[in-house]
Amino acid sequence: MASNDLGIVVDGTQVSYIGQDSESIPEFLGRKYGHFTKRLDLSFNLLRSLEGLEEFICLEELILDNNLLRHDLQLPRLPHLHTLTINKNQISELDSLLDHLAEVVPWLKYLSLLGNEACPNELVSLDNDESDYQRYRYFILHKLPKLKFLDARKVTIKEYKEAAARGAFMKVVKPKDDLTSTDFGSSSSGFQQYTPLPQGSRDGTNHRGKKGCNKNEVFLQNVATYIMEGTQRGTDSSVMTSFKNSSATVPAFTAIQDIYMHCV
């Protein structure tokens, strides 16, 4: 193991540049170590950009924990990368990040996003529960089906099956900051946590119907179930075609309306 005054620690094919308060990857790091490094640890810096990472052509493991990276981070194409950890950064949205990862790191086997706003577990908020986190896992596995480990847990066969069948419907959606009181409940001006569940299911202020059910919660959950079951009966294109067809739209709307009226 070797180290120097620049804060770099080298151990075989492993290179660490930890806790240097660096806002970008130093140019000399890639020039000097990029051609042989297989494991790179850049934890506990102030990284907002990954420019310069393209020099690490042999990279297999990349550790980016405790930085300032957002969901719009740009990784170079790293065909050998199988392990990526981005714990405790500033990732607040999954969709674009996962699409990017699927393109540039196609053989990724291990991904960890713990401690980010977009990861709905207890590290972000005690209001999150296991069902929130499980939906998040299904959505990620739908986007990255080659993963073997997600966060600190091995992916199970059941999760693969659920992700293939319903993962597309588990997308995590962030409420708009300027959202005012609506049928889905009111929002405050404070920080709003991510959740893959409908907003109505978390808001205790919603009015309840005659039968004691939360109208918004039951309505949205049943609509989601109705749409998902419809999707199971055909391809995405056939479902879209049926909704564009006026003869198919009427019964679909009637069924949704019946669900809503049932909770009034």
> Which one, of 108, 110, 112, 76, lies nearest residue 91 by Cα?
112
pLDDT at 146: 96
pLDDT at 181: 37
pLDDT at residue 2 is higher than 90:
no
Rounded Cα distance, 119 and 115, in Å: 7
pLDDT tens sequence across 155-177: 999 999 999 998 888 775 554 44
Rounded Cα distance, 72 and 61, in Å: 20
pLDDT at 244: 39
CA atoms within 13 A on the CB side of 180: 0
pLDDT tens sequence across 189-248: 344 444 444 444 444 444 444 444 454 554 455 555 545 544 444 444 333 333 334 444
pLDDT at 162: 94
Rounded Cα distance, 169 and 83, in Å: 26
E strand segments, 55-103:
61-63, 83-85
Are 71 and 91 within 8 A, CB to CB? yes
pLDDT at residue 36 is higher than 80:
yes
pLDDT at 125: 67
Average of per-residue pLDDT across 79-97: 96
pLDDT at residue 259 is higher than 80:
no
Average of per-residue pLDDT across 180-184: 40
Average of per-residue pLDDT across 69-89: 96
pLDDT at 3: 58
Rounded Cα distance, 152 and 134, in Å: 13
Residue with tokens 């059910």: 213
pLDDT at residue 68 is higher than 70:
yes
**Three-class SS state of 209:** coil
pLDDT at 124: 66
Alpha-carbon 15 to chain mean position: 28
pLDDT band at 71 (very low <50, low <70, confident <90, very high): very high
pLDDT at 39: 98
pLDDT at 264: 46
Alpha-carbon 74 to chain mean position: 16
Rounded Cα distance, 97 and 213, in Å: 37
Neighbours of 202 (CB within 10 A): 17
Rounded Cα distance, 85 and 151, in Å: 8
pLDDT tens sequence across 89-148: 999 999 999 999 999 999 999 999 999 999 998 766 666 678 889 999 999 999 999 999
pLDDT at residue 46 is higher than 90:
yes
pLDDT band at 6 (very low <50, low <70, confident <90, very high): confident
Which secondary-structure segment (H or E) carries 261? helix 246-262
DSSP character for 234?
S
Question: 80 versus 177: which is more confidently predicted?
Answer: 80
